[in-house]
């Protein structure tokens, strides 16, 4: 057994791509509505979430838009945390370390002082695409840079393809196809339960126990409308919601991670590959259904 039991069925909730993911950034009113709905769910369920910001999304025509920044204030006014997800969401596997680090610093120009003005703590960083470096030299250098600038890396254990459901849901919304949206929402909640079960089993296979999980989802209309159902599913499975700080204080999160593969993957798989190699990976990981992939216009996983 690695470590000792601190929590059982606990989960920290994190949202990436604030103020809104990708193609859902375009209309200020929509961005505000997305964040208002997500924050309302988090507040009602007493979920201490962290939202990770891409500051490029705060701009309209190349300038910071105070109307969009106000969406972040909703999080801070509710006592939730914000973190850095870089300025423009670059991949550390595609740009130089210098360019990546510059983008990290560019990604804190608005949000860091905003957090400070609310008496909050600015401390978390989430790698775009969960890509942390294609070699250990780059990986360690990026980690050192982040630590030198006061950041802690926010790992993810419940990794998933939620963004694919969200893309299909946004396309259905654009077509005013309510039936398709209902079908996608139902499939999304079912899929998230299957993924949660898989990561529970994977954690137990590695650590011989449950560990506090860290869930990754995104700021989008799908979660504005249906994250409450995901939260209810987690509660029904016996989860309690904890802070990200509390989750990563578990000894499991001190496990070695030497993963430098092409993809961005769950930390449970990183730890497993480091300690046991590919044979340690639990089989039968659920995938996004093919019909959802087609609806989103995304190539098969």
* pLDDT one-digit tens code per residue, 228-263: 999 999 999 999 999 999 999 999 999 999 999 999
pLDDT for the residue numbered 301:
66
Going from N- to C-terminal start, the domains of the chain cover: 10-296
Q: In angstroms, rounded to a whole number, what is the distance separating the alpha carbons of residues 35 and 71?
A: 6
Taking 50 as the pLDDT cut, the residues of the chain under it are: 1-7
Cβ–Cβ < 8 Å for 196, 234: yes
pLDDT of residue 299: 85
- Catalogue the long-range contacts made by 105-112 (C-beta closer than 8 Å, 24 or more residues apart): 105/149, 106/55, 107/53, 107/54, 107/55, 108/55, 108/84, 109/55, 110/55, 110/58, 110/64, 110/69, 111/53, 111/55, 111/72, 111/82, 111/84, 112/84
pLDDT at 136: 98
What CATH topology corresponds to 10-296? TIM Barrel (3.20.20)
CB within 8 A of 170, min separation 6: which ones?
A: 23, 24, 220, 221, 222
What are the distances in angstroms from CA 152 to CA 24, 99, 147?
28, 20, 6
């Amino acid at each position: 057994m690695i470590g000792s039991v601190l929590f059982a069925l606990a989960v920290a909730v994190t949202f990436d791509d604030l103020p809104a993911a990708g193609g859902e950034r375009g209309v200020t009113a929509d961005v505000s509505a997305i964040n208002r709905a997500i924050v309302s769910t988090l507040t009602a369920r007493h979920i201490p979430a962290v939202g990770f910001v891409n500051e490029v999304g705060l701009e309209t025509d190349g300038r910071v838009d105070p109307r969009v920044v106000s969406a972040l204030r909703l999080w801070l006014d509710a006592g939730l945390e914000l973190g850095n997800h870089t300025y423009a969401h670059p991949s550390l596997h595609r740009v130089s370390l210098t360019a990546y680090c510059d983008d990290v610093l560019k990604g804190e120009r608005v949000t860091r002082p905003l957090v400070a003005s609310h008496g909050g703590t600015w401390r978390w960083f989430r790698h775009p695409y969960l890509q942390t470096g294609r070699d250990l030299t780059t990986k360690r250098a990026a980690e050192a840079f982040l630590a030198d600038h006061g950041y802690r890396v926010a790992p993810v254990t419940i990794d998933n393809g939620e963004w694919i459901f969200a893309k299909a849901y946004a396309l259905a919304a654009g077509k005013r196809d309510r039936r398709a949206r209902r079908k996608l929402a139902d499939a999304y909640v079912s899929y998230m339960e299957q993924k949660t079960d898989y990561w529970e089993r994977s954690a137990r296979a590695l650590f011989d126990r449950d560990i506090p999980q860290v869930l990754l989802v995104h700021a989008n209309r799908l979660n504005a409308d249906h994250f409450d159902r995901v939260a209810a599913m987690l509660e029904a499975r016996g989860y309690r919601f904890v802070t990200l700080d509390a989750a990563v204080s578990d000894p499991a999160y001190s496990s070695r991670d030497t993963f430098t593969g092409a993809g961005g993957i769950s930390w449970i798989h990183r730890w497993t590959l480091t300690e046991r190699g590919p044979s340690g990976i639990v089989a039968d990981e659920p995938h996004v259904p093919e019909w959802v992939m087609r609806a989103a216009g995304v190539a098969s996983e």
